[in-house]
Structure 1
Amino acid sequence: MPGERLDAKWVRSWWEQADAALTKLMQAFLPTHGFPPGHNAVTLATDDSDRATDALVDLTPIPSDLTTLYWVISDASLPDIDSGYFIHSPATAAEQFRKYGPAPIEGEWIAIVFAGGGGGCLFAIGDSGQVWKSTTASWFDEYELAAASLQEFLEHLSRRIANQP
């Protein structure tokens, strides 16, 4: 998939599938695990998140796939999927970029941190379109390749949701 750009219709379809899988998972969560789930949701974009995306674009040369993602969804909170996955809102991504700058990933001109994991790892998308995962819970340590594209990252996340016990 490298070289292909993320399509907004595909992201909307991904959201619909993820939302349906989360609904099913949350209905079975308490009987399966013996305790209630956290708030698990993928939130569609709003006028506020669209303005925040515009502000992020003005702040930095944001990778186009991340812009496409943010035009469709504003964020995701998935604390009960594995150790947790969280797609940051565009406002949070911009705030963190102002505070910390780009993720230091060799070979990427710029990389924007857009997500995190429950264990503290960070996910960044580089100008190449590849998604990188921090090897520690630090903004400034090494990153390793997590997915060849944002679409591949989202597909992986869908599989994690669907296969969560």
Structure 2
Amino acid sequence: MPPERLDVEWVRSWWEQADAALTKLMSTFLPTHGFPPGDNTVTLATDDSRRTTDALVDLTPIHSDLTTLYRVISEACLPDVDSGYFIHSAATAGRHVREYGPARIEGESIALVFASDGVGCLFAVGDSGQVWKSTTASWSDDFEVAAAGLQDFLEQLGRRIVNQL
């Protein structure tokens, strides 16, 4: 069963909740951990980042949910959430496609790397809508299913933020 399609309003609501949780987490980070946090942000899309998304769509076929995500969120930099999570900008995703090509995942005709974690593992969304995670810090290694779709991926990421409060 394919995952539910990502909705712009749902992504905006997710961003609002994540932003509020990050604000709270950053306010208690130093006393809790004994060192200052990095720059933990989920950046809203701009006209420039939306044009970059259009260029990415022109470069390679991408799953419509990734387009929806990039219409709302430009990128995320969360170095202090677990071991770190990073949603790459459309410009970075495009650069990676030009340099490395799409991720090679059995059963997916095309899979685009859109994120990574703090240990170098990659996240790709396939044409099935599933989100895959590399088993090592490599573009050419095996990938395993990490989430049913981008909404599931974002929900998991939101829970990781909240669980650190």
TM-score range, shorter chain: over 0.9
May I ask how many residue pairs the two structures share in their alignment? 165
Pairing 1:102–2:102 present: yes
Q: Distance in 2 between matches of 1:106 and 1:142?
A: 9
Pairing 1:65–2:74 present: no
Percent identity over the alignment is 78
Find the counterpart in structure 2 of residue 161 from structure 1.
161
Q: Which amino acid aligns with 1:76?
A: A
Q: Distance in 2 between matches of 1:3 and 1:75?
A: 22
Pairing 1:56–2:95 present: no
Cα shift readout 1:87-114 (whole Å, capped 9, x = no counterpart) = 0000000000011111000000100000
Give the secondary structure class of the aligned counterpart of 1:97: helix
Shift of 1:2: 2.7
**Equivalence map 1:1-150=2 (5 Å):** 2-150=2-150
Give the secondary structure class of the aligned counterpart of 1:105: coil
Shift of 1:48: 1.2
- TM-score by structure 2 length? 0.98
Q: Distance in 2 between matches of 1:2 and 1:38?
A: 36
- Computed over aligned residues only, the root mean square deviation of the Cα atoms, in angstroms, reads 0.9
Q: Which amino acid aligns with 1:133?
A: K
Cα shift readout 1:23-82 (whole Å, capped 9, x = no counterpart) = 000000001011000000000001110011000000001100000000000000000000
- TM-score by structure 1 length? 0.98
Shift of 1:3: 4.0
Cα shift readout 1:90-142 (whole Å, capped 9, x = no counterpart) = 00000000111110000001000000000000000000000000000000100
Segments of structure 1 that go 5 or more residues without pairing to the other structure are: none
